[in-house]
């Protein structure tokens, strides 16, 4: 016979914590952004810093002009819903610089420093701008297997 007192009360058990509500709610920051095919999420950096200069060089090497991308600096606890980003911004590519895909509600494993496909989008997940400045071997790998195939060679159109 079962002892039901040991079973959790499912009506009082959090199935999904309220922390995940962000993935179903519209985001005020996104509403004000116009559609652009590329979204760049980065850890925080200062204006006119070496990190910002590195980002500008990267995007320029990718042949992206300012009208084709949005850059958003995210804190480690920040979350934005990928499906809202994709739908509202009409995204084709996402670049995450020191940001985890989990912060966008995506728990898929994406290869670091190279081009991956998920949700009909190009994904490039890599280290923070600060780390890229400190580790040229990662930056080289990122260019050869991530940024160049996605934006210069346009392997997925």
- List the domain boundaries for the chain: 34-152
- Please give the pLDDT value at position 9: 60
- Please give the pLDDT value at position 79: 87
Answering whether pTM is above 0.75, one says: yes
Q: Give the CATH H-level superfamily of domain 34-152.
A: Uracil-DNA glycosylase-like domain (3.40.470.10)
The string over 37-74, giving b where at least 16 C-beta atoms fall within 10 Å of a residue's C-beta and e elsewhere, is bbbbbbbebeeeeebeebbeebbeebebeeeebbbeeb
pLDDT band at residue 20 using 50, 70 and 90 as cut-offs: very low
pLDDT in tens, 23-72: 555 666 677 889 999 999 999 999 999 999 999 999 999 999 999 999 99
């Amino acid at each position: 016979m079962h002892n039901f007192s040991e079973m959790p009360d499912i009506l009082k058990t959090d199935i999904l914590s309220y922390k995940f509500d962000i993935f179903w709610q519209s985001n005020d920051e996104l509403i004000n952004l116009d559609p652009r095919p590329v979204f760049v999420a980065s850890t925080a950096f200062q204006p006119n810093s070496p990190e910002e200069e590195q980002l500008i060089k990267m995007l320029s090497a990718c042949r992206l002009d300012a009208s084709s991308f949005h850059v958003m600096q995210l804190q480690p606890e920040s979350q934005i819903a990928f499906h809202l980003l994709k739908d509202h911004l009409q995204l084709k590519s996402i670049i995450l610089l020191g940001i985890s895909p989990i912060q966008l509600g995506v728990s898929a494993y994406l290869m670091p420093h190279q081009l991956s496909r998920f949700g009909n989008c190009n994904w490039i997940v890599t280290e923070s701008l600060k780390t890229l400045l400190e580790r040229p071997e990662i930056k080289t790998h990122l260019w050869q297997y991530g940024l160049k195939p996605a934006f210069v060679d346009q392997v997925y159109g």
